[in-house]
Chains A and B, each alone.
Chain A
Amino acid sequence: MTSTDQQPFLSVKDLQVHFSTEDGIVKAVDGLSFDLIKGQTLGIVGESGSGKSVTNLTILGLHDRAHTAIEGEILLDGKELLTASEKELERLRGNKMSMIFQDALASLSPFHTIGTQIGETYRKHTGASKKEARARAIEMLKRVGIPQPDVRVDDYPHQFSGGMRQRAMIAMALVCDPELLIADEPTTALDVTVQAQILDLLKELQQEFGTAIIFITHDLGVIADIADDVLVMYGGRCVERGTKEEVLSSPQHPYTLGLLGSMPSLDGPVDVPLSPIPGSPPSLLNPPSGCRFHPRCTFADKVAGGLCSTERPLLDVVDGRGSACHLPPKQRGDLFADFAAARH
Chain B
Amino acid sequence: MAAPAATPLYFPPGDGAPSGKSRLMFRFLVRRVIGALVILLIISAITFWLFYAVPRDPAMMSCGKNCTPENLEQIRKNLGIDKPIPVQYWLWLVGIFAGRNYAGFDYCNAPCLGYSFANREPVYDTIMDRLPTTLSLAFGAAVVFLILGIGAGMLAALKQGKFLDKFASSASLLGSSLQIYFVGYIAMFFFVAQLGWLSQPQYTPLTDDPGAWFSGLLLPWLVLAIIFTANYTRMTRSQLVEQLSEDYVRTARAKGLSRANVFFRFAWRGAMGPIVTVFGIDLGTLIGGAIITESTFSLQGIGRLAVKSVDQSDLPMLLGVTLLAAGAIVFFNILVDAVYALIDPRIRLA
Interface residues of A (CB under 8 A from B): 57, 60, 62, 66, 86, 90-95, 98-99, 101, 103, 106-112, 117, 120-121, 124-125, 148, 151, 154-156, 158-161, 172
* Pair A111/B344 contact, Cβ less than 8 Å: yes
Q: Once bound together, how far apart are the Cα atoms of A172 and B254, in whole Å?
A: 11
Q: Report A116 CB to chain B, min CB distance, Å.
A: 10
Nearest-Cβ distance from residue B243 to partner chain A, whole angstroms: 11
B256 and A95 within 8 A (CB): yes
A203 to B255, CA, bound (A): 22
Binds A, one of B7-15, B94-102, B281-289: B7-15
Complex-state Cα separation, A94 to B255, whole angstroms: 4
Q: Is B209 an interface residue (CB 8 A)?
A: no
Q: With CB as the reference atom, state the residue of chain A lying closest to B16.
A: A154
Chain A residue contacts of B246, Cβ below 8 A:
106
Contact A111/B345 with A86-B259, A124-B256, A159-B10 known, Cβ cut-off 8 Å: yes
Asked whether B13 lies within 8 Å of A151 as measured between CB atoms, the reply is: yes
Contact: B253 with A93, CB < 8 Å? yes
> In whole angstroms, what is the CA distance A103 to B248 when docked?
10
Q: Contact partner of A101 among B9, B13, B17, B251, CB < 8 A?
A: B251
Q: How far is the CA of A103 from the CA of B246 in the complex (A)?
A: 11
Known contacts A98-B255, A160-B8; A103/B346 CB under 8 A: no
B106 at the interface (CB under 8 A from A): no
* Contact assessment for A90 and B248 in the assembled complex, using a CB-CB cutoff below 8 Å: no
- With beta carbons under 8 angstroms apart, the residue of A90, A107, A112, A117 that contacts B250 is A107
Residue from B256, B257, B345 having most chain A Cβ neighbours under 10 A: B256
Contact (Cβ within 8 A) B346 A158: yes
Return the contact of A120 from the options B13, B17, B257, B346 (Cβ within 8 A): B257
B residues at A contact (CB < 8 Å): 4-5, 8-10, 13, 17, 160-161, 246-248, 250-259, 265-266, 269-270, 343-346
- Give Cα A106–Cα B257 distance, bound, in whole angstroms: 18
**Best-buried of A110, A121, A154 by chain B (most CB within 10 Å):** A110
Q: In the complex, what distance in Å separates the CA atom of A110 from the CA atom of B256?
A: 18
Could you list 9 further interchain pairs (A-B, Cβ under 8 angstroms) beyond the known A111-B344, A159-B9? A94-B256, A99-B251, A101-B251, A108-B251, A110-B344, A111-B270, A111-B345, A148-B13, A160-B8
5 tightest CB-CB pairs across the interface, nearest first? A94-B256, A94-B255, A93-B256, A106-B247, A159-B8
| A90 and B258 in contact, given A107-B247, A159-B9 (Cβ under 8 angstroms) | yes
| A111 contact from B9, B257, B259, B266, Cβ within 8 A | B266
CB-defined contacts of B254 to chain A, threshold 8 Å: 60, 62, 93-94, 98-99, 101
Contacts of A62 in B (CB 8 A): 250, 253-254
Whole-angstrom CA separation of A99 from B254 in the bound complex: 7
Contact of B255 among A57, A93, A103 (CB under 8 A): A93
A-B contact pairs, 7 of them (CB 8 A): A94-B255, A95-B256, A98-B254, A99-B254, A107-B250, A107-B251, A109-B269
Q: Is the CB of A154 within 8 A of B17?
A: yes
Most buried by A among B265, B266, B345: B345
B246 CB to nearest A CB, Å: 7
Query: Which residue on B lies nearest to A109, using beta carbons?
Result: B248
Q: State in angstroms the CA–CA spacing of A107 and B13 once bound together.
A: 27
Question: Which B residue's beta carbon lies closest to that of A182?
Answer: B254
How distant is the Cα of A34 from the Cα of B238 in the complex, in angstroms?
39
Q: Given the known A-B contacts A90-B258, A156-B345, are A109 and B9 also in contact in the complex, defined by CB atoms under 8 Å?
A: no
Known: A156-B346, A158-B346. A101 touches B255 (CB 8 A): no
Interchain CA distance A91-B346 in the complex, whole Å: 31
A170 to chain B, nearest CB (A): 12
Closest A residue by C-beta to B4: A158
Please, which residue of chain A has its CB at the minimum distance from the CB of B248?
Answer: A109
Cα–Cα, bound, A66→B343 (Å): 31
Contact (Cβ within 8 A) B257 A90:
yes
Picked from A99, A124, A154, the residue with its CB within 8 Å of the CB of B257 is A124
Q: How long is the Cα–Cα vector from A261 to B270 in the complex, in angstroms?
A: 43
Query: What residues of chain B lie closer than 8 Å to A90, measured between beta carbons?
Result: 256-258
- Is the beta-carbon distance between A124 and B259 smaller than 8 angstroms? no
CB contact between B346 and one of A110, A124, A160 (< 8 Å): that residue:
A110
Contact residues in A for B253 (Cβ distance below 8 Å): 62, 93
Task: Give A120 to B257 CA distance when docked, in angstroms.
Answer: 8
A99 CB contacts on chain B under 8 angstroms: 251, 254
Contacts of B265 in A (CB 8 A): 112
Q: Is the CB of A110 within 8 A of B345?
A: yes
A313 to B37, CA, bound (A): 76
